[in-house]
Structure 1
Amino acid sequence: MKFVKSALLATAVLSLSAAGAFAAPETYKLDQNHTEVAFSWNHMGFSNPTAKFMNAVGTVTLDEANPAASSVEVSFATDGINSGVAVFNDHLKAADFFDVANHPTATFKSTKVDVTGANTAKVTGDLTIKGVTKPVTLDVKLNKIGMAKKKTAGFSATATIKRSDFNMAKAVPFVSDEVNLVITAEANKD
Structure 2
Amino acid sequence: MTRLLGSLFALSIAATPALAEPHRYELDPEHTTIVFMVDHLGYADTLGVFLDFAGGFSYDMETQTLTDVEITVNTKSVESFNEARDNHVRNKDFLNVEKFPVMTFTASEGTPTSDTTGTVEGELELLGQKHPLKLEVTLNKAANYPFGHSRFTLGISARGTVIRSQYGMNYAVDNGFVGDEVNLIIETEAMRME
TM-score normalised according to structure 2 size: 0.84
- Which letter does structure 1 place at the counterpart of 2:160? A
Deviates more, 1:143-152 or 1:95-104: 143-152
| Match for residue 118 of structure 2 among 121, 130, 146 | 121
Letter in 2 for 1:49: T
- 2-structure distance, mates of 1:68, 1:137: 17
Q: Distance in 1 between matches of 2:66 and 2:142?
A: 17
What's 2:184 paired with? 181
- Residues 1:147 and 2:144 aligned together: yes
Following superposition, which runs of at least 4 residues in structure 1 exceed 4 angstroms of deviation? Answer: none
Show structure 1 runs of 5+ residues with no match: 1-9
| Percent identity (aligned) | 33
List runs of 5+ in structure 2 lacking aligned partners.
1-9
Query: Hey, what does 1:3 align to over in structure 2?
Result: none
Cα RMSD over matched residues? Answer: 1.9
**Counterpart of 2:165 in 1: which secondary structure?**
helix
Shift of 1:68: 3.7
Structure 1 107/46 Cα, relative in aligned 2: closer, same or farther at 3 Å? same
Query: Letter of the aligned partner of 2:159 in structure 1?
Result: T
Which of the pair is proportionally richer in helix? 1
- Alpha-carbon distance in 1 for matches of 2:79, 2:187: 16
Shift of 1:35: 1.1
- For the residues of structure 1 that align with 2:168 and 2:17, how far apart are their CA atoms? 50
How far has the Cα of 1:102 moved from its partner? 0.4
Q: CA offsets, 1:131-178, max 9 Å, x none?
A: 111001100001111111311111101111111011211001221101
SS at match of 2:44: coil
Structure 1 counterpart of 2:169: 168
TM-score, structure 1 normalization: 0.86
